[in-house]
Chains A and B, each alone.
Chain A
Amino acid sequence: MSTDKPKVATASLAGCFGCHMSILDIDDRILQLIDLVDFDKSPVDDIKEFTGRCAVGLIEGGCCNEENVRVLQDFRKHCDVLISLGECAICGGIPAMRNNVPLKECFDEAYRNGPSVHNPSGEYPSDPEIPLLLNKVYPCHEVVKMDYHLQGCPPPADTIWAALTALLTDKPVELPYELIKYD
């Protein structure tokens, strides 16, 4: 199975998987992509751990908890080029709406006072399996160095395609006007 093709890894942190859907939206060009690269750690192929060094890592979502931070750190370690894919990775996105609300209020709403909450003990879940939340949602580039940012919610498939093919063929990432969209 092992080839000398460059590897691409992807992850969704505090995101909705919409950006991953957009990767799939490149449609039949995915066949061309497979010719160019192998996928490493990614929900696309369900590889859970890195198998080696990757040329490109695509990160969807910002960091809302310690698990996100750990994954992002791992990607930084294994990827030559790291890309923030979409609004949440770039600015925190919808999850960052909580950044104006103290964490305690978020917890109280989620575990005590929310309309559908049933929690007679009133305790916050503390199982070590549940990652601790960060004090706010961080854009990825405020946690580790990110090399590129592809805007959009999600970034259009054409944007992802244009950026990936440029990177994999050693060309500069230059997006035309219509491919830079924040929504």
Chain B
Amino acid sequence: MTESLPTDATPWPAPDTVTCPNCQTDLTYYDPNSSFYACESCHAFFEAAYEQKPRIIQKASNPNPGGGLPTLAIGSEGYLLGEWVRVTGYMLKQEKGTSYRWREYMLLLKNGTTRQLAEYNGHWMWIEPASQKYIISGPTSKSYVINNAGDDYLIYARYQAELLNVVGEFDWNILDDERLTTEEYIAPPRMLVNEKGNSQNDWYEATYVSREDIAQAFGLGTNSLPDTYGVGSIQPNKYAATWTHVVLLTLLAAVTAIVIHLVNIVFRPSGTIFRETLTTVALVPQTNTVDAAQRAIDSASIAQSQPTPKMLRTRSFAIKGPTAVDIEFQSNVDNTWVEFATELVDEQTNQRYIFTEAVEYYHGYSDGENWTEGGTESSATLSKIPSGQYHLEITPYTQYGQQLSFAVNVGQNTSLISNVLLILGLLALYPIYLLFRRSGFENLRWSQSDFGPKTEEE
């Protein structure tokens, strides 16, 4: 991996050593600007500025309070975000009054400036001094920051931190940080951090760094880094990024589908190709000569002996396919019904397309209201009918003794709006899924915050 890293002829500042005044261990330091040190042997925190005699500031009572050793070893070198960095300090911090703990690493750059890496629940941030002072606007509890780029940064956290463990070198007294109030404003994958004290108001800019990038930067296996839990405060919402692309493609596809449908309507306009009026033959049931008991025993044979409706055959008509064919029946039924068992017959191949369509219309007056049910028209749509000469064979079923006339209309190139609706529905599935996942991701992010959209609404 290191073979692919860019070479940089700029040398690191020459390391030197400082002796711990508590345990006399010689400690290597890498930043000539450092004047505060935490001994990795006795965990004493002391100041050793220039040629002055080292002064112990604090002797650590609990050098390793459950935080473990730093994942990134002091002195290790890496290449991250286009910069050669060296780890010079490590701090384990905890939010006062809570059990939230995170780790911060001091990084020395070759130009002598410093940066920080912060890790919480396996999520990493690169932190550097802000290039400007930001202005907080909005109500105090729901304040946000607007920077020059016009992005809104929503407040995510406000806390005071306490140091639990510290190793390495620093150019300021890190114990003073325990008196600072820190506010974090997020616009993933970026964060603005404001540290405020009595006479201090500093801004820092943070950017999310993936676990894989950290591992690659320092030549580590991802398994050696802390496992990732939950959603990081500025972790990019991968569903939001995907959603943007998918919505664009979906909209394009929807427009394309509608255009295809319109082109089909324009170049293959629908129209009636055949119309004929026919009349049913009234059926009279046979008179039974057997008694009721015998009729009950042999009801099946009696049913078979009843007269069946006469099949009616229409004139021949041509269909230019393949196409969807619409066959409509119209009958002036009045409080009765008629059902058409129908076959569309290809006269060349004798291929038969079979369907049933009913027309029924009822109306009346009950409970003080007029009511109607059904209608005098009904139609069936037959898919993918090939070109050819056709006729219809219709067997109308209705009540005994009833003679009805009906009209049958045949149309071709029927507009299949159901196809358009189906395709639009299918296209919408994935964006809707992503919308839910995106929302769930953000809910998880803000569930770790005392602020956030839901809190604001309350």
| A and B co-occur in one complex | no
Q: Give the interface of A toward B (CB within 8 A).
A: none
Interfacial residues, chain B to chain A (CB-CB below 8 A): none
